[in-house]
Amino acid sequence: MCGIVGYIGRRDVAPLLLEGLQRLEYRGYDSAGVVITGKTGDLRVVKAKGRVRELQARVPKRFAGTTGIAHTRWATHGKPSDLNAHPHLDNDEKVAVVHNGIIDNASELRARLVAEGAELVSETDTEVLAHLIARSAAETLEQKVRDALRSVEGTYGLAVLHRDFPDRIVVARNGSPVVLGIGEKEMFVASDVAALVAHTRQVVTLEDGEMATLKADDFRTYTTEGSRTSATPTTVEWEAESYDMGGHDTYMHKEICEQAEAVDRVLRGRIDDRFATVRLDGLNLDAREARGVRRIKILGCGTSYHAGQIGAQLIEELARIPSDAEPASEFRYRNAVVDPDTLYLAVSQSGETYDVLAAVQELKRKGARVLGVVNVVGSAIARESDGGMYVHAGPEVCVVSTKCFTNTVVAFALLALHLGRVRDLSVADGRRIIAGLRKLPEQIEQVLKTEPDIKRLATHFADARSMLFVGRVRGYPVAREAALKLKEVSYVHAEAYPASELKHGPLALVEPAMPTVAIVPDDDLLEKNRAAMEEIKARSGRILAVAHQEQEKADHTIVVPKNEDELDPILMGIPLQLFAYHTALALGRDIDKPRNLAKSVTVE
């Protein structure tokens, strides 16, 4: 999704901005642009469709300045092109704007501006902002931006330069992240800390409805109405190196390989052996309240939704609270019954996914209690929630989510154990689950050691145009997530089905050209899963099983270590992340930036 970087200080700004844009490349984009305040005070702009390196190639040798803003664009209004790339300027080239989000009333505003004589040159919604700011008769840049925002409906994270106010950058946030980076006699702004941490770890995250003015040695924050707000910088948890590739060829590979330490992190400091439970202080839910929860509804999108499905099963199994997961993108539009005895859990890696945030806001408006299960500390969903737990996966850069999925499921296991132990889960079962959780990091390492075999299998199946993924109960969300991973990163069509449903339709698809991946844990459903494989074999289907022991009915088996039955889904997903990765590699895909996708979907 779109990215913003800005800088004001004493250093040469263009290389800083280009480096910042490169750090945001992972979010997905189709064009990029930069504007600086040149030596004479003029705004100097360069834009390019395509990658940041294409923009870099266009930046002239003499492009000196110490103030600038830059952008990577992911097309919403208007196709990817040089003209539609940000920044956008008014006709007198006084104002330059970069913008993330969507201006809902852009067509009305365009019509109004054209009637007033403005000449709009792009197809974007953003361009209206530059014209509106330029047309404001207010005296200060802050007031001009405020005036413009008064006419605007929609979401924005934006940064503005003005030729007449060369000593400042003005930024504003409503529904799209804006983070200020506080340096020594220099200030940064970005839509994502990833673009800042190489320079400063002191940050201020703007709230919705907040604006800020950045000068080289000073910043201040205030509401869109103009009243001052207090902004104490916090320190970003992660070093700049955590955002680097660390010797791997892709972020996806790096992040798959980091899972043992990531899981160790989500467990660290939370296990309470004495009472065979876990401490989750951030939930803000005491034992009495936890006992009073009648239902749990988990909301998330994509991979986070799948993690939520496994989470719902864990909570039902360990805490015996009826639970289910639903895509937040659906939930928010169906006027769901909001029940006071239901606890709502919002799941998100980025903590900024618009559909999840909108669902949280709707639930809060209706008086529900919402807890966040989030990776990015201080993100919008974390802040909007009444409490929650961080999943501590560390920065996830690849568009395709892997380590955060695993850590989110482990976080759900902790939550399920915690809720179980204030209800009816026995001490013995609590100890059993804790022992299982502690085994995970080592077992993940064992799974990762099988990578050469998985690579061989992925290459073997890479010619398949379509694949079927089946699992039953605990295995079904694993199958769904594995199918999503394969299609996202390799573009191979993949369909997930409950193995129990095969006879009710999907068996018709089975033939040698449509291989099946079967999730076959050693649990009480093992024989049922074997019977499903038998049915597939009888129709000449090829089978790759992920199981705890070699499967006779399968053509190939990836054997993973056995844990407690309830925790098996955590390990069974990991080899299939590697399978998707190696399929994509065999097919020559752009692994970290799959086509048409963006890392955090901050628009509808």
Binding residues for ligand F6R, per CB under 6 A?
301-304, 348-350, 353, 356, 400-401, 488, 600-601
Quote the least distance from Cβ 157 to ligand F6R, whole Å.
16
Q: Using the minimum distance from each CB to ligand F6R, give the nearer residue, 72 or 602.
A: 602
Q: Using the minimum distance from each CB to ligand F6R, give the nearer residue, 124 or 250.
A: 250
Helices and strands in the chain: count of H runs, count of E runs: 19, 27
Q: Using the minimum distance from each CB to ligand F6R, give the nearer residue, 181 or 594.
A: 594
Q: Using the minimum distance from each CB to ligand F6R, give the nearer residue, 262 or 601.
A: 601
Quote the least distance from Cβ 354 to ligand F6R, whole Å.
9
Contacts of 532 (CB under 8 A, 6+ apart): 470, 472, 499, 500, 502, 518
Quote the least distance from Cβ 29 to ligand F6R, whole Å.
16
Q: Using the minimum distance from each CB to ligand F6R, give the nearer residue, 205 or 350.
A: 350
Cα torsion 248, 254, 258, 259: sign: negative
Query: Contact, 450 vs 563, CB < 8 A?
Result: no
User: Which secondary structure element, helix H or strand E, spans residue 68, and what is its range?
Assistant: strand 67-73
10 Å CB burial of residue 530 (0-12, 13-18, 19+) is middle
CA distances from 250 to 2, 255, 397, 486, 522 (A): 21, 9, 10, 16, 33
Query: Contact, 515 vs 544, CB < 8 A?
Result: yes
How many angstroms separate the CA atoms of 208 and 155, rounded? 9
Catalytic residue selected from 2, 257, 301, 404? 2
Query: Contact, 258 vs 248, CB < 8 A?
Result: no
Which phi-psi region, left, alpha or beta, contains residue 246 (left: φ > 0; alpha: ψ -120 to 50)? Answer: left
Quote the least distance from Cβ 485 to ligand F6R, whole Å.
6
Q: Using the minimum distance from each CB to ligand F6R, give the nearer residue, 551 or 600.
A: 600
Radius of gyration of the chain, Cα coordinates, nearest whole angstrom: 25
Strands 95-100 and 210-215, sheet pairing: unpaired
Catalytic residue selected from 297, 403, 553, 599? 599
Cα torsion 228, 355, 348, 413: sign: positive
Quote the least distance from Cβ 356 to ligand F6R, whole Å.
5
Q: Where are the alpha helices (DSSP H) in 138-268?
A: 141-150, 251-257, 259-267
How many angstroms separate the CA atoms of 482 and 496, rounded? 8
How many angstroms separate the CA atoms of 391 and 317, rounded? 21
Quote the least distance from Cβ 233 to ligand F6R, whole Å.
24
Query: Contact, 384 vs 360, CB < 8 A?
Result: yes
Quote the least distance from Cβ 71 to ligand F6R, whole Å.
21
Quote the least distance from Cβ 355 to ligand F6R, whole Å.
8
Quote the least distance from Cβ 347 to ligand F6R, whole Å.
7
How many angstroms separate the CA atoms of 375 and 430, rounded? 25
Contacts of 346 (CB under 8 A, 6+ apart): 299, 300, 328, 356, 359, 360, 370, 371, 372, 373, 374, 381, 385, 388
Nearest-CB residue for ligand F6R: 302
Q: Count CB neighbours of 138 within 10 A.
A: 13
How remote is the C-alpha of 384 from its chain's centroid?
A: 16
Q: Using the minimum distance from each CB to ligand F6R, give the nearer residue, 213 or 602.
A: 602
Q: Using the minimum distance from each CB to ligand F6R, give the nearer residue, 188 or 354.
A: 354
With tokens 């010619």, the residue in question is 463
How many angstroms separate the CA atoms of 536 and 245, rounded? 41
Strands 271-272 and 277-278, sheet pairing: antiparallel
Q: Using the minimum distance from each CB to ligand F6R, give the nearer residue, 66 or 600.
A: 600
Query: Contact, 17 vs 5, CB < 8 A?
Result: yes
Amino acid residing at 285: L
Asked about 599 being catalytic, the answer comes back as yes
Q: Using the minimum distance from each CB to ligand F6R, give the nearer residue, 149 or 400.
A: 400
Quote the least distance from Cβ 279 to ligand F6R, whole Å.
25
Query: Contact, 205 vs 229, CB < 8 A?
Result: no
Q: Is the peptide bond before 477 cis (omega within 30 degrees of 0)?
A: no
How many angstroms separate the CA atoms of 208 and 224, rounded? 9
Asked about 404 being catalytic, the answer comes back as no
Residues carrying an active site annotation = 2, 599
